[in-house]
Amino acid sequence: MRAPYLHHRFPALRDTLAHVPLGAGPTPLTPLGAWASNGGAEVWLKDEGAFGDGDWGGNKVRKLEWLIPEAQRRGPRTILSFGGLGTNWGYALTRYAAAHGIDTALALVDQPVDDHVRAQLVRLRGSGATLHHTRTKARTAACVPWLLVRHVSRGRLPYVLPAGGSSAVGAIGYVETALELAAQVDAGTMPEPSHLVTAVGSGGTAAGLLLGLRIAGLRTRVVAVVVNDTLRLDAVALVRLARRAERLLRQRGADLPDQRLTVDDLDVTTDWLGPGYGHATPEAEAARALAAAHEGPPLDPVYAGKATAALLAMNAARRFGDGPVVLLQTNGPR
């Protein structure tokens, strides 16, 4: 299996920043067609739903390729993390961590319940994870000391990961993906994109892409479509996480020049969030219907549906100039 682009570019990381292969890349990069461009910039799809095992993949698995060996390096037998009732992250974490001998505990907060959330809860209950229904963000924060003590194993506290795995280590998964995209551009798969549009639920994907695109030397601008109102996901927070990932790479031995990332390096929008995290919106439903009518990618209502709705509206308003533009499909279930 191919060595990570990061290890190839920065050989010192091979001994300091371990990687376990959980999926095969590169993920497909294909044009979406006239229904997505609608007279504006040409739109390409990078389908991250293809990354992972046969049943469950997506952007969470990209992060886990770096998070699981980091947990093993630190020594805990349990990972403690957080999410909503229908957390794709929590399920992916449980599946892939278990395969490497690591237990998972999840603190779950309430979110609007639809068929996907109900099905996800069934999966979570059968996954082997220990579930704690903490219901609200405030109660979850108050419960953290108890959760840490509850999940001590062999004298070690659990390895704590934020929602979505969006730590500095987790963001490295999308530094790697940005380097993969750059290799596809170099190979002539598509021209250098002017913009890359992605849904933002916890920040690690957008932050990693921002840093990785700059490391790769691409001028592509990240458009972060915020779909979660329970976390701080503005430009300041995303750039801060990207800088943390940059510092981590440098500390682990990457000969990396200062990227000088600022809030002017990306566009963040909350215009397609709707009533809040997990709530469907008419714009997202219209985007899903349009994609289905043209045999486009399946779009979930919470993430990809809202990101696609944003892309379509921005493209109609000629926000991307001549493009081309990439839609990153972060899809977890498939």
Is residue 71 in some structural domain? no
DSSP codes of every residue in 262-320: -GGGEEEE-TT-TTSTT---HHHHHHHHHHHHTT-----TTTHHHHHHHHHHHHHTTTT
Residues 265 and 124 in one domain: no
Look at residue 64 and tell me if it is in a domain. Answer: no
Does residue 66 sit within a domain? Answer: no
Q: Which of 132, 157, 182 is the last residue of a domain?
A: 157
Q: What is the pLDDT of residues 154-177, one digit of tens each?
A: 899 999 999 999 999 999 999 999
The C-alpha atoms of residue 216 and residue 199 are separated, in whole angstroms, by: 22
Assign 334 a pLDDT band (cuts: 50, 70, 90): very low
Last residue within a domain, chosen from 139, 157, 175 = 157
What burial class does residue 278 get, using C-beta atoms within 10 Å of its C-beta: 0-12 exposed, 13-18 middle, 19+ buried?
buried
CA angle 162, 271, 135 (to 5 degrees): 35
**pLDDT value, residue 53:** 81
Q: What is the mean pLDDT of residues 189-218?
A: 98
Per the CB < 8 A criterion, the answer to whether 330 and 198 are in contact is: yes
CATH number at residue 83: 3.40.50.1100
Question: Do the Cβ atoms of 184 and 220 come closer than 8 Å?
Answer: no
pLDDT reported for residue 45: 97
Residues 122 and 234 in one domain: no
CB 105 within 8 A of CB 78: yes
Mean pLDDT of 112-140: 94
Residue 303 has pLDDT above 80, yes or no: yes
| pLDDT surpassing 70 at residue 13 | yes
Residue 132 has pLDDT above 60, yes or no: yes
142 and 112 together in one domain:
yes
State the chain's mean pLDDT as an integer.
95
Q: Are residues 37 and 132 in the same domain?
A: no
**In a domain? residue 145:** yes
Task: Say yes or no to pLDDT of 50 above 80.
Answer: yes
Share of the chain above pLDDT 90, in %: 89
Please give the DSSP secondary-structure letter assigned to residue 294.
T
Supply the pLDDT for residue 327: 98
Same domain, 186 and 313: yes
Q: How confident is the model at residue 184 (pLDDT cuts 50, 70, 90)?
A: very high
Query: Rounded mean pLDDT of 123-139?
Result: 96
Q: Do 186 and 295 lie in a common domain?
A: yes
pLDDT band at 123; cut points 50, 70, 90: very high
Let me know if residue 69 belongs to a domain.
no
Supply φ then ψ for residue 96, to 5 degrees.
-80, -35
Q: Is 104 helix (H, G, I), strand (E, B) or coil?
A: strand
Packed helices 282-293 and 304-316: angle between N→C axes, nearest 10 degrees: 90
In a domain, 302, yes or no: yes
> Do 139 and 284 belong to one domain?
no
Q: How many CB atoms lie within 10 A of CB 126?
A: 9
User: Which of 135, 157, 179 corresponds to the end of one domain?
Assistant: 157
Model pLDDT for residues 56-78, shown as the tens digit of each residue? 788 999 999 999 999 999 999 99
pLDDT at 240 over 80: yes
Q: What percent of the chain lies above the pLDDT cut of 70?
A: 98
Q: Same domain, yes or no, for 191 and 130?
A: no
Average pLDDT over residues 310-324: 96
Asked, for residue 162, whether it belongs to a domain, the answer is no
Q: How confident is the model at residue 277 (pLDDT cuts 50, 70, 90)?
A: very high
Q: Is residue 67 part of a domain?
A: no
Mean pLDDT of 133-148: 97
- Domain of 271 in residue numbering reads as 5-58+167-329
Q: Do 137 and 97 lie in a common domain?
A: yes
pLDDT at 38: 85
13 and 103 co-located in one domain: no
Give the pLDDT mean for 110-126: 92
Please tell me the predicted confidence (pLDDT) of residue 332.
55
**CA dist., res. 42 & res. 44, Å (int):** 7
Q: Nearest-CA neighbor of 240 among 130, 166, 137, 161? A: 166
3 pLDDT tier (thresholds 50, 70, 90):
confident
Domain count, the chain: 2
Q: Do 178 and 318 have their domain in common?
A: yes
How many CB atoms lie under 10 A from the CB of residue 119?
A: 12
